[in-house]
Amino acid sequence: MESKHNKLISITKMVAFTSLAADPSVVNLGQGFPDIPPPSYVKEALAKAVSVDRMNQYTRGFGHPPLVKALSQVYGHVYGRPIDPFKEVLVTVGGYGSLFSTMQGLVEEGDEVIIIEPFFDCYVPMVRMAGAKPVFIPLRLKSGKKSITSADWYLDPDELSSKFTSKTKAIIINTPNNPIGKILTRDELQMIADLCIKHDTLCFSDEVYEWLIYRGQQHVKIATLPGMWERTITIGSAGKTFSVTGWKLGWSIGPQHLIRHLQTVMQNTLYTCPTPLQEAVAQGLMLNMELIGQPECYFTSLAEELEGKRDRMAAIVQEAGMTPVIPEGGYFMLVDVSALNQDLSDMKTDDDDDEAYDYKFVKWMIKKKKLAAIPVTAFVSDQSTKDFEKYIRLCFIKVILQEEWSKMPQRPFY
């Protein structure tokens, strides 16, 4: 009955944990989306858009003109180069939709795609759905150091180089990284760029958390390195930029000779994205474009707000006897649970005898401590499970991590 695609993973691991954590008495720091309200001006812009007749009908397939023009302005400024709104930008259904259009447009049977572990879990099924083979390279922990920040994870240059073959079509990078929060440094990006150029491969750069950069850190776009614009697709997200994940709008930016293939995929998959949402995002971008450098600019103010939550989360985790990995960016934090030495032998697993420690730990934590997280081995391939199974992922873009945390009656882990 079904087609070849159904050899794909049909239930993601996230879906399975969502039902466990749905119990209202559980504090859910697993799901990767905000429960803080979005800025009021984007909601107002959306309501206003719906009241304009034309905004309720189809717009330009590859992106609503006001939105692609706003993206061209904002990113033209960020990249330091002019970006053609009609040829070098594609608006998609979330960053997810950009990843899909990129894979379907540029990757096929016989190709290999390098994926850095840990990775956002959709990369693997998307590579497979495009008929290609994922090739993994793990981020490794600097030895002799008790991991305290995401900067302690690195890519081994020789190991990375060994993964490039004549079949390599592309490498996917995610910076800031989900789940670790690592921001790839300029040197690391240069190393990746050198390999892409040497082996004539593409680079798919997932930068949905690009604005969530904490003090002292800098986000560098690999597409701005010499020789990289012409071989890179850079992916962004309105949902992550404006805390509106439920709007599902994202974009791909790159050279025309690559973007046009993503546009072909778009016109044969869903044709166009919702108009009023695009109009509202365009307005949000233009408003913040004016405010760049000022404290009210959401591109920086959200990061400031989240840094406080990040630090509060880290303190809570330490108080509970676990070790946080302080992220340089993004809104997730890895937590090393091994110091607790928790006995999980009574966590009976119904389907998988060989279930990784972090899966068992999260189930135990949900049941016994009323706190939900995501096991980090959900983000790695089987061969790297042993290196990551002492970590769980917490999301800190949550209301509960406000200043009064210590006064709240509902305090999990106590």
* Residues between 148 and 187 that touch other proteins (CB under 8 A): none
Q: Which amino acid is at 330?
A: G
Indicate whether 23 belongs to the interface with other proteins (CB under 8 A): no
Kindly provide the residue ranges of all beta strands, DSSP E only, lying in 11-167, ordered along the sequence: 27-28, 89-92, 112-117, 133-138, 140-141, 153-154
- Give the footprint of other proteins on residues 275-294 (CB under 8 A): 275-277
Using the rule CB under 8 A, which residue among 27, 89, 115, 122 binds other proteins? Answer: 122
Angle between helices 65-79 and 275-291 (to 10 degrees): 30
* Positive/negative CA dihedral, 43, 47, 48, 49: positive
CB of 159: closest distance to other proteins in angstroms? 24
CB of 153: closest distance to other proteins in angstroms? 27
Burial of 257 (0-12, 13-18, 19+ CB in 10 A): exposed
Place of tokens 């979005």: 38
- Give the footprint of other proteins on residues 306-345 (CB under 8 A): none
The pair of three-digit structure tokens given for residue 247, joined into one six-digit string? 């709007």
- Give the footprint of other proteins on residues 249-268 (CB under 8 A): 249, 257-258, 260-261, 264-265, 267-268
CB under 8 Å to 51, separation ≥6 — which residues?
Answer: none
CB 294 within 8 A of CB 49: no
- Pick from 254, 267, 233, 221: which is nearest to 88 by CA? 254
Show the site string, 352-391: x = touches other proteins by CB under 8 A, - = not: ----------------------------------------
- Give the footprint of other proteins on residues 85-104 (CB under 8 A): 93-94, 96-97, 100, 104
CB of 70: closest distance to other proteins in angstroms? 18
Q: State the number of binding residues for other proteins (CB under 8 A).
A: 79
Kindly give the pairing relationship between strand 112-117 and strand 133-138. parallel
SS3 45: helix
Using the rule CB under 8 A, which residue among 85, 105, 118, 412 binds other proteins? Answer: 105
Place of tokens 């002492």: 390
- Give the footprint of other proteins on residues 189-208 (CB under 8 A): 197, 200, 202
Show the site string, 43-82: x = touches other proteins by CB under 8 A, - = not: x--xx--xx-xxxxxxxxxx--------------------
Angle between helices 275-291 and 298-319 (to 10 degrees): 90
Which is closer to other proteins, CB of 57 or CB of 341? 57
Which is closer to other proteins, CB of 170 or CB of 380? 170
Which is closer to other proteins, CB of 274 or CB of 412? 274
